[in-house]
Amino acid sequence: MSRRLASGGRLIDRARPLKFTFNDQHMSGFAGDTLASAMLGRGQVLAGRSFKYHRPRGVVASGAEEPNALVGLGKGERFEPNQRTTTTELFDGLSATSQNHWPSLEFDLLAANNLVPQFLTAGFYYKTFLRPRAFWKHVYEPIIRRSAGLGRAPDAESRDPDRYELVYGFADVLVIGGGVAGLQAALAAGRAGARVMLWEQTAHWGGRAPVDGVEIDGQPADSWIKSAVEALEGMENVSLRLRCMGAGVHDHGYVLGNERVADHLPGASGPRQRLWRVRADRVITATGAIERPLSFAGNDLPGVMLASAVRDYVVNWAVSPGRTVVVTNNDDAYRTAIALKEAGEDVPVIADARDEATGALPQKARDLGIRIMTGTGVQKVKGGKTVTGVALCRIDSDGSTHTEVLDCDAVAMSGGWSPVVHLWSHCGGKLIWDDAQAFFRPDPDRPPLGHDGAGFVACAGAASGALGAGDGLADAHAAGAAAARDTGATGDAGHPARAEAPEEAPLRQVWIMPARAGYALRMKMWLDFQNDVKVSDVQLAAREGYHSVEHTKRYTTLGMATDQGKLSNINGLAVLSDALDQPIPATGTTTFRPPYTPITLGAISGEAKGDLFQPLRRTPMHDWHAANGVHWEPVGQWRRPFAYLRAGEDVHQSVNREVLNARSNIGLLDASTLGKILVSGPDAGRFLDMLYTNMMSTLRPGKCRYGLMCNENGFLMDDGVVARLDEQSFLVHTTSGGADHIHGWMEDWLQCEWWDWKVHTVNLTEQFAQIAVVGPKARALLERLGGMDLSREALPFMGWAEGTLGGVRARVFRISFSGELSFEVAVPAAQGRAFWDMLLHQGRDLGVMPYGTEALHILRAEKGFIMIGDETDGTVIPQDLNLNWAISKKKDDFLGKRGMERVAMTDPDRWKLVGLETLDGSVLPHGALAVVEGVNANGQAQTEGRVTSSYYSATLGRGIAMALVRRGPDRMGEVLRFAGAHDARIEARIVDPVLHDKDGEKLHG
């Protein structure tokens, strides 16, 4: 049973006990603990259940590589699933729950899966749930979802209350990893004068050198680390950051880092996490190495741990797993036996797979009286929910007989080390197989290449394969100095520190233990602890033809869990290589992808949530709308009033009221969102003639003209009114949603195609508040404000004038989108709200009443005016809308002219615009299709038209609609059948789309 030792623990502060709960059980640990060390210190070995078999799972590692000890952390709004206990810093009041068990962690009914593991081999789901197809969704999926999985997702209705932020950073040299190699690399680069950023994913500098008893420059590692950090903190050109995980390395030196600012300080002010987005000229990954498990039967039982993790717990947190058997293929694991022994713990035996163990570390273990058995491996681990003992056997045997059985609480295993090459590989760095050390390491000759063709990532220390502290520091110094030099730093990088560590003898490659283990053992040898993938699964996949490591990964799910195979990948591909009888480099690795460890979505979205989720564009009158019953409609990033609700009204009633009032009194529309683009210069007229289908260059100053814009294919893209300001300048009005696009479209043509034309464009959309004053009494209201002659004679329809209205400088456009007498008044935006208020005040007795976009739509539909986005959808040409009158026949060219001449565009069968009148007066559903007899090749009803706009017209007292119908204008009076809900058919007669004031008397009023 694991427990806290009476003394020691370099990272904990025994004077500061912290309380926490695990599955509602009260426990305590110390400041400096991780959740894992605190749980182990309290004897809580069992942490969760596995993905597929619901096998008991305990801590196996001590850092980011942990696959097993995942918990749900926090409660309510702050609940987070799948949090690694090994990287969760303990805080007072922490609440954790175990995952993937039913009904309880101690007693899991679904562990029955475990009794029949031969049924759940590789590809089990694919093979078993193939037939019948009808079962896929309603039988198989619910079964699989119930039994397989990890943490539950947070409640969909909860809202993360914490703050997150992005930070943009810049560095000459970014060093990722704050172990001794990272510190050394940063020292070299910093001394040379480069701007250096140094990140460490844990809360402590120095990595594992202090645990491993390394001496640097004649002092214990801890004191060298302290002075190195002090030296770095003293450099103005160096910034250091703890709890910041290098997540991904991308093109052009773009690196993402996840800083867990306050995960350990819940409720603190400030952001919980921040996502760094850094541009670095050079990146040094000093990310260390991860120890590999050994594949022996029962290696997944709680209590079986990595040897390095065991000594981390002993040295850093004074936690011992109890009586521990060490099993290894290398010298390094002897450090664990020595650490345990020096802490007063019992190590019954070190089982070493090698034939001899004669190095300095084995000798030291012998001197401490620890029994060493060479040529020995684990036959199987004994125990249920935790380890109770271990059976040993000859390493070269088939494991059918054991040589000895020992009682123990834990097994510390070491299969060698793998450099953490993830960041090196993200952006294309290549690996080479180092057979002597049995790992893939970065190939320094094939680094990720930057924009200049030079490598921009280098590895330092263990990450580059230099596992020994002495080699590692020299390697890191060289990497730091070279990176600084590459960025132009010319200072003296100084000398590397010297580290003393015992020489280590070579390891023996051991991929399964024992070497000739039979099927019964192999099906109990776990490769991927989280996803329950075993040696037998990979071997089965190989027999079934999965030769590519990428295919095997997906077929078996090896390495696809939340730990992304940090412990399992190398062992898995070694087993695959053996099964395929090919060398390991011929199998290769799967692809390393960012992020290195999972990043919470909150950190990725940064500040973009709640009110800041996306920009909301507001017109100068926005606050008035908000205070006056507005029902909003999103239009691009604007919010426009759909209607203004009065007490007791529903939206429909409000819209009808607004329509009728505009037709009988005065309506006010906030039209500020309309695009307003100044087009000016000697070639402005020529330019607009190319952009619009009709002629704009002939427009006289003081006049307005409606125009259509098409793309090169002839499809209608935007429409609006152009006002000629003077000889050389025009003000182009676009749709609200189209302003930015049309401005970009103009600049595209001017900058890329007609670069020699003398035309400037300036987007003035936001300079003006624009208000449409609409209705028979509109002129009366504006005349009350005073300052301009707006009579029919002085300002006729389609004219504009400039002057002062009520003391405000204004441009008045005599245009109408409603069919009523109408003026659109543009005033400086900063006076927009005041001018709006003035209109409301002055027009009270005239019946002035704002109206929203729905009334706007109805008013225009009653007049048969088209709306971009309703009558058009990117496949409609102006001719479809009977707008031939707006297409110039005199111009040699304009954008879209050629497109409109293509055969499909001139087909007389095209669907064209008509008005519709339902026979029963009802309102047709939006988008309803006109159906005819017969079905198409897909068995769908044949159609001959569709509704593009449909409203209830309060003016006419019935439903009105516009539609695109095959040869529509030729079929006036015909009755079509439109599809409604539930197979209903609604009959509607084809009519002229202009339903209101056909002669335009009101419009010209």
Partner 1 sequence: MAEAASVLDGARYTGFVTVADAGLRGMITLRGDLASDAVAGAVKDAVGLGVPGQRRVHAHGDRAVAWMSPDELLVMVPYADASEVAGKLAQALAGAFATVANVSDARAVFTLSGAAADDALCKLCPVDFAQLGAGEIRRTRAAQVAVALWRSGEGEVTLVCFRSVAEYVFGLLRNAAAPGGELR
Q: How far is the CB of 190 from partner 1 (least distance, A)?
A: 15
* Burial label, 134 (beta-carbon count in 10 A; 0-12, 13-18, 19+): exposed
Nearer to partner 1, 255 or 262 (CB): 262
Nearer to partner 1, 618 or 989 (CB): 618
Closest C-alpha to 439, from 462, 469, 473, 470: 462
> Tokens 């899991």 belong to which residue?
108
Closest C-alpha to 423, from 246, 205, 243: 246
Nearer to partner 1, 278 or 340 (CB): 278
Distance CA 238, CA 188 (A): 11
Q: Is the bond preceding residue 103 a cis peptide, omega within 30 degrees?
A: yes
Contacts of 157 (CB under 8 A, 6+ apart): none
Element containing residue 835 per DSSP (H, E): helix 832-842
Q: How far is the CB of 678 from partner 1 (least distance, A)?
A: 6
Q: What is the DSSP string of 782-802?
A: HHHH-SS---TTTS-TTBEEE
Q: How far is the CB of 766 from partner 1 (least distance, A)?
A: 4
Instruction: Please answer whether residues 214 and 221 qualify as being in contact, where contact means their C-beta atoms are separated by less than 8 angstroms.
Output: yes
Nearer to partner 1, 132 or 615 (CB): 615
Nearer to partner 1, 60 or 677 (CB): 677
Nearer to partner 1, 42 or 195 (CB): 195
Vertex 118 angle, CA 113 and 122, to 5°: 95
Closest C-alpha to 439, from 282, 584, 566: 584
Burial 143-155 (b: 16+ CB within 10 A, else e): eeeebbebbeebe
Nearer to partner 1, 125 or 757 (CB): 757
Q: How far is the CB of 634 from partner 1 (least distance, A)?
A: 14
Nearer to partner 1, 191 or 195 (CB): 195
Q: How far is the CB of 638 from partner 1 (least distance, A)?
A: 7
Closest C-alpha to 395, from 538, 315, 511, 303: 511
Closest C-alpha to 203, from 178, 166, 173: 178
Vertex 571 angle, CA 567 and 574, to 5°: 155
Q: How far is the CB of 983 from partner 1 (least distance, A)?
A: 45
Q: How far is the CB of 168 from partner 1 (least distance, A)?
A: 5
Instruction: Please answer whether residues 88 and 38 qualify as being in contact, where contact means their C-beta atoms are separated by less than 8 angstroms.
Output: no
Record the tokens describing residue 473, joined without a space: 């520091």
- Helix, strand, or coil here: 623? helix
Nearer to partner 1, 519 or 613 (CB): 613
Nearer to partner 1, 14 or 841 (CB): 841
727: Cα separation from own chain's centroid? 51
Q: How far is the CB of 757 from partner 1 (least distance, A)?
A: 10
Nearer to partner 1, 164 or 951 (CB): 164
Q: How far is the CB of 753 from partner 1 (least distance, A)?
A: 17
Distance CA 615, CA 607 (A): 12
CA distances to 214, 302, 741, 764, 832 from 683, in Å = 77, 80, 21, 20, 33
Nearer to partner 1, 146 or 809 (CB): 809
Q: How far is the CB of 831 from partner 1 (least distance, A)?
A: 5
Question: Torsions phi, psi of 422, nearest 5?
Answer: -55, -55
Nearer to partner 1, 405 or 616 (CB): 616
> In 506-593, which ranges are continuous DSSP H helix?
519-522, 535-543, 549-556, 569-580, 584-587
Kindly list the residues in this chain that would bind partner 1 in the complex (CB under 8 A): 163, 165-170, 195, 262, 268-271, 274, 277, 279, 606-608, 611-612, 614-620, 638, 678, 680-682, 729, 758, 760, 762, 764-768, 806-809, 827-831, 833-835, 838
Q: How far is the CB of 93 from partner 1 (least distance, A)?
A: 19
Q: How far is the CB of 646 from partner 1 (least distance, A)?
A: 26
Q: How far is the CB of 605 from partner 1 (least distance, A)?
A: 11
> In 682-825, which ranges are continuous DSSP H helix?
684-691, 739-748, 778-785
